[in-house]
Chain A
Amino acid sequence: MAFCAGTRRETHGPPEVPAGFFVSETLQALLGDSRVWRARSGGRTWRALPSGHARLDAVLPGGGWPAAMLTEIGLDRCGSGELALLMPLLERLCRPPAEAADAQGPGQGGWLAWVAPPHVPYAPALAASGVDISRVLVVRTGRDDETLWAAEQGLVSGTCSIVLAWAARAGSRQLRRLQLGAERSGTPVMLFRPSDALDQPSPAALRLKLICGYCGIRLHLVKHRGGAPRVLPGDAFLPA
C-alpha cells in the first residue's frame, strides 16, 4: 500500500494485519476485498498538484489536487471563490518547468482550457495573478453535452495542462469518460457544477462544495478517495 510518486492507480494489496493480532480468516478475506473501504487505512492517495492552500493540502490525500483525475466542484453561485481556490494551481502550471518540478505531466506547457465558463475570464485579473494568458483557451459551447465533449477532447489530446469545465448536467457515463480521459492523459480536470448535482454518485476522485457565506467561504469535502467527508473551516483558503 506504499505510495510512490507517479503511481496513478491505487493498489489493492492485502491489508497488513498487526502481528499477534487475531483476525479470523473470514474477516481477513473481507478486508482483502477491494470494495471494502477502511477509514483508517490512509494509504490510498493520488499523484498530487499542490493547491497552494496549506490547510487544504493537509487534508487532501497526496497533499494536493489530484493530478490526473476528475475533480468536481459544486457551487450555487458564480463568485463563491472558485477561481481564488484554483488560481495558485493555474499560476503554478504556468511556471517554467524548472521552477515547478512537481507539476510535471504531459500537459506541461499546454493549454489552460476553459470550457463554457459562465462569464468572460477577465484577462487583466488572470495576468495579475501570474497566469500566462497566451495559454488560455476559451471554448464556448451551446449545451452541456458539447461542453463535456470539448472537455474530453482537451484531455485526450494531451495538449492541455488543465481543463476547467462548467456543466450543469452530466451523466455518469460522461463523467466516467472524463475520469478515464484524465487518467490516460495525466491531466487534471475540474468540473464546476451546481451544488445539488453533487448529491448524485460520480466516479470523480474528489468532490467538494464551496459554500459562500458572509463570514467566509467553507469547503465541504463531499468525497475524496480514501478519506471521510468533512467540512473545512472558513480559513482553509482565503480569497485574495
Chain B
Amino acid sequence: MSRSAASLPLFDTASPGEGEHREACAPRVPERGPRRRELWLCLLFPRLPLETRSGGEADAMPLVIVENDGTVLMASGPAEDAGIGPGLPLNAAWALCPALVARERDEPAEQAALERLAAWSGRFTSLVHLAGPDALLLEIGRSLRLFGGCGALVGRLRRRLVATGHEVVTGVAPTPLAALWLARAGDETALEDPETLPDRLGRLSVAVTGWPKRTRETLSGLGVDRLADCLRLPRDGFARRLGHGCLVDLDRALGRLPDPRPGFRAPERYAGIRELTSETADLALLGRVADRLFGELEGFLRARQASVDRLLLKFGHLGREATPLVLGLARPDFRAAHFSVLLAERLQRVVLPAPVVSVTLKARPSEGLCPAAAEMFEAPGVMDDSAFRLVERLRARLGREAVHGLALVDEHRPELAWQVTEPGRGPMPAASGRPRRPCWLLSSPRRLVCRDGRPWLDGPLVLESGPERMETGWWDDGEVSRDYWIMRDGDGIRLWVFRERHRSGGWFLHGIFA
C-alpha cells in the first residue's frame, strides 16, 4: 500500500529524490526569529468521566460510566477485571458482574472538573488552554528555566497531581496539536526538538487525530493507518478528499502553520464538588475525598497568588438539606495539608445527620499569598505561622469562641478595661500608673450577702484597703458609681469587692487577687 502512496506526489519528509514535489507543495513556513521556542505540554485525563462520578474511589469497586445509548463508556479497574470494557451494552455488563454499579455520564461535571484542573495548572504556566473534553494544553516553554527543565517540570506536576486524585497522560511537543496527539497515543517521551517532529508524529496512528469517523474510514480505505502515510499524500488531493480541516491540522501539528490557543481564565472563586459512589458515613473516606478538593484548591490559589481565610464545605445527603461546615483560619493560608489537618480535627466534632453522597468545597480568595518564609530579622514576640496553626487546631475542636487573646482598652470601668480579641492581636500598651488590680476578674460581679452592714462570704470579710472611688460612664448607659475595697476572707484570700453607691447599695465581689 505504501508503494501506491509513494507513487503519488508527496507531502513532506519523503524519501530522497522527490524534492521537487516538496518545493511545489510545501506551504511557506513563516520565518521564526530568535524568539523563545514554544513547548507544549498536554495533560490528558483519560479517566475523567469515571473520576468525576466516583469521588476518587473508583478502584475500590466495579463501576461503569454509561453513555446515553446504554453502552459502557468506561469501566473501573475491578469492572475491567470482570471482563467489562468500553462499548459493551450495560445488560451484558451486568450479566458479567452482578455487583456492578452503573453511573450515567455527567459531561457538565467533567467540564467543571477540567476547568478546575486548568485553574490548578496555572501554577506551572501563564497559558493554559482547554483542549476538548478531557485534555489541557500548557505552554511550558517559558516556564522551563524556572522549574529546571522539561523533565523536572513534568515530574513535579505529576507528583502534585496525584493529590487531586486524577490519572494523567502527558505529551510534550513543540506544537499544541502534536503534544495532544502524543498524549492520546500514550507516548510520554518528551519531544523537544522540532526537527524530530515529523518522524515522531509519523509513527502515530491516524486515530489519535480525533478526525471524524468517516475521514478515518476513508483513510483506512486508502491503506493509510499511520500519520507518516498521510504525510506522503499529495496536498491538494488530500484536501479535496478529506477536507481542508485535516490538512490544516497536519500543518499545525508540524509547526508549518501557526496555532494560536486562547488562554483559560480562572474564575474568581473556587467551587469543587466530588460525588461519592454510594452513601457513606465513613469520616476517614470523607476526609480523603476532601483532601482531593484541597489539592485542587491549593493549585487554584497558587495560580492566583492568593490565599483564603475561610472554607465552606458542604456534605450533601439524599433527600435532605446539605450539612454545611465552615473552616475558619486564624491566618489566610493556601496549603492543602494545613486544610486537611484542620478538617480532620473538625470532623471529630461534627455529627452528620445522614450518610453523605457528595462533598462540595467553596472558597473565595481573600488576600495575597502569604509567604511561609521566615522573618529576615528575628523580631521578638512576633508569632510565626506555626503559632497560628495551634490556634486553628484548638479552634477546630473546641469552637471559634473558645480560643482568644486579651487586649487592653483605655477605659476606667474594670469590666470594660479589657476585651476578648483575636490571639496575637492585642497590642502592648504603655504601662499606666493604675491602682492595683486583681489577676482574676469574675465574668460578672457576684452579689454578696450583707450582715450587720458588712459583706459576708462564708464569714465576714475584713477590710484591708480602700476605698477607690469609681464614678464614670454617665455619658453612656453603663454608668457606674462604686467604691472598691480590698478585703480578706477567712482563708486570708484577698478579694476585690465594691459597693454600689447609688442604686441598691449592695456589695459585690468583682475580682480575686491571686
Contacts and interface: CB of A to CB of B under 8 A. Distances in A.
Given A120-B418, A122-B441, A137-B423, A213 B407 contact: no
Interface string A124-148: 1111111011111111111000100
Interface stretch (B251-259, B363-371, B386-394): B386-394
Nearest to B387: A159
A173 interface: no
| Candidate in B380, B491, B494, B514 with the most chain A CB atoms within 10 angstroms | B514
Interface in A61-85: 77-84
Interface residues of B, number: 54
B377 to A, nearest CB: 13
Interface stretch (B159-167, B228-236, B429-437, B499-507): B429-437
A38 B442 CA distance: 46
A97 B398 CA distance: 32
A138 B442 contact: no
B402 A118 contact: no
A123 to B, nearest CB: 4
Given A127-B429, A214-B490, A214-B492, A138 B406 contact: yes
B394 A153 contact: yes
Contacts, number: 174
A111 B425 CA distance: 12
Contact of B381 (A77, A81, A134, A217): A134
Given A109-B380, A121-B440, A124-B437, A212 B408 contact: no
Nearest to B510: A122
Interface string A85-123: 001000000101100000000001111000001111111
A138 B390 contact: no
Interface in B435-450: 436-443
Given A111-B390, A123-B407, A137-B403, A83 B439 contact: yes
B418 A124 contact: yes
Given A79-B493, A153-B394, A212-B491, A239 B386 contact: no
Given A160-B390, A213-B491, 9 more contacts: A79-B494, A87-B439, A109-B382, A123-B418, A129-B439, A133-B405, A134-B427, A136-B405, A214-B492
20 contacts: A79-B440, A79-B494, A79-B513, A81-B514, A82-B514, A109-B383, A118-B440, A119-B440, A121-B441, A128-B434, A137-B391, A149-B397, A150-B398, A157-B389, A159-B384, A159-B390, A160-B390, A212-B493, A215-B492, A217-B492
Interface of B: 380-384, 386-387, 389-391, 393-394, 397-398, 401-408, 414, 417-418, 420, 423-429, 431, 434, 436-443, 488, 490-495, 511-514
